[in-house]
Amino acid sequence: DAGITQSPRHKVTETGTPVTLRCHQTENHRYMYWYRQDPGHGLRLIHYSYGVKDTDKGEVSDGYSVSRSKTEDFLLTLESATSSQTSVYFCAISDPRIYEQYFGPGTRLTVT
């Protein structure tokens, strides 16, 4: 987890409220990713970024938006949280010269 932090680490929120999760890296890696991990589904890519202000959708992007105004920060926003978005969210980073990804510690989000 070195070099990648996620905040908050735990959050409980109500259906319909907006939620923003933050990923911060100190590695200066160009690529950043948001995944969700659910029992029975494994890790699924929500959105990713290949540079400042350059983002694209992953497999399960509906209901999520992202922003990246600085190399080190990648924000994931749930505009109006639903119970189906209860999950563990992981941020990851990688460098285009290598292919392995480095993951943050995760954020456990519960939508009631």
Partner 1 sequence: SQKIEQNSEALNIQEGKTATLTCNYTNYSPAYLQWYRQDPGRGPVFLLLIRENEKEKRKERLKVTFDTTLKQSLFHITASQPADSATYLCALQNYGGSQGNLIFGKGTKLSVKP
Residues that bind partner 1 (CB under 8 A): 1, 4, 31, 33, 40-45, 48, 50, 56, 58-59, 90, 92, 94, 96, 99-106
Least Å distance, CB 99 to partner 1, is 6
Least Å distance, CB 41 to partner 1, is 7
47 vs 78 by CB, closer to partner 1: 47
C-alpha span between 10 and 100 (Å, rounded) = 26
C-alpha span between 103 and 14 (Å, rounded) = 27
Place of tokens 């409220």: 17
Residue 109 CB partners (closer than 8 Å, separation 6+): 10, 11, 12, 13, 19, 21, 81, 85, 86, 87, 88, 89
104 vs 109 by CB, closer to partner 1: 104
Least Å distance, CB 88 to partner 1, is 9
